[in-house]
Amino acid sequence: MIRGVAAALGLGLLAIAARAGAHEAAAAAPLAFALPEPGSYELPAIARVPDFELLDERGAAVRLLGLAADQVAIVSFVYTQCPDGQGCPLALAALQGIDRALARDPALARRVRLATVSFDPVRDTPERMAALRGRLHPAADWRFLTAASPSAVAPVLAAFGQDALPLVDARGAQLGLFRHVLKVFLVDARGAVRNVYSAGFLSPELVLVDARTLLLESESGRGRLSRARSENAGVSP
């Protein structure tokens, strides 16, 4: 892992986007395991998260998820000064790989939303998130979000179980760095977290198979509801 003060190493917004591009090839490497068929397994709910209000890259208030009933979200938490090549840049690379795959599948793209949220709102202003978006060139529905203050993002991190501990020097002054663990979350339309991916399993292909599984589950649930309503009304499905 790369350690040290981001400013001293010359790392920042440019570096995180560059690292994301460097990791994109690794993310596209052949998997070491066979992917299951979408819908052939279940993803039980792990937790439930509220649909928090955050700021988009224009500074407008938006919902973190804002999903329709037939959509899912893939959510990651980063900060743009991250100097750890196996942390935020890797998460961005994975989402970039997912974004590119969605661009090739418009039907799926309409049902999957990506959201990258900064846990360093002091430095990651809407303008900086807009710059990050510009460097990554999203092709599908990919939101870049921040918050008005650390206290505004704290309940979001707590709800998701995303650690982000500010590092300080011997005098207690913040260094602008965070101790954190890479996590990417798959969330359904009801706000239920259905999977959490760490560095070892953060494969765009796997995440998209899981997303398809949830979407098939949603379609199956709507079909059962339609049949139940028809039966209650005495109408043959």
Give me the CATH number covering residue 14: 3.40.30.10
Residue 161 has a pLDDT of 95
- The string of DSSP letters for 33-46 reads SPPPPTTSS-----
Total count of domains within the chain: 1
1 within domain boundaries: no
pTM of the entire structure?
A: 0.82
The CA-based angle 231-220-203, given to 5 degrees, is 170
Instruction: For residue 143, give every residue at least 6 positions away whose Cβ sits within 8 Å of its Cβ, in sequence order, or none.
Output: 56, 62, 113, 114, 115, 116
39 close to 109: Cβ distance less than 8 angstroms: no
Backbone φ and ψ for 82, nearest 5 degrees, come out as: -60, 120
Instruction: For residue 51, give every residue at least 6 positions away whose Cβ sits within 8 Å of its Cβ, in sequence order, or none.
Output: 63, 64, 65, 66, 67, 191
Residues of 100-121 as b/e, b for ≥16 C-beta within 10 angstroms?
bbbeeeeebbebbbbbbbbbbb
And the tokens for 89? 């840049």
Q: Which domain holds residue 68?
A: 6-232
Residue 133 has a pLDDT of 97
Distance CA 219, CA 227 (A): 12
Can you give the pLDDT of all 237 residues of the chain as single tens digits? 333 333 332 345 445 555 555 445 444 455 677 889 999 999 999 999 999 999 999 999 999 999 999 999 999 999 999 987 788 999 999 999 999 999 999 999 999 999 999 999 999 999 999 999 999 999 999 999 999 999 999 999 999 999 987 766 777 677 767 788 899 999 999 999 999 999 888 999 999 999 999 999 988 765 343 343 334 444 444
157 within domain boundaries: yes
Residue 11 has a pLDDT of 43
Distance CA 217, CA 197 (A): 20
Q: What is the pairing mode between strands 47-48 and 192-197?
A: antiparallel
**Which tens digit of pLDDT belongs to each residue from 181-223?**
899 999 999 999 999 999 888 999 999 999 999 999 988 765 3
Residue 30 has a pLDDT of 58
Residue 217 has a pLDDT of 94
Residue 167 has a pLDDT of 66
Residue 219 has a pLDDT of 84
Distance CA 179, CA 82 (A): 10
Question: What are the C-alpha distances in Å from 68 to residues 49, 89, 103?
Answer: 16, 29, 19
75 within domain boundaries: yes
- For residue 94, the SS3 value is helix
Residue 9 has a pLDDT of 29
Residue 16 has a pLDDT of 54
237 within domain boundaries: no
47 within domain boundaries: yes
Residue 28 has a pLDDT of 47
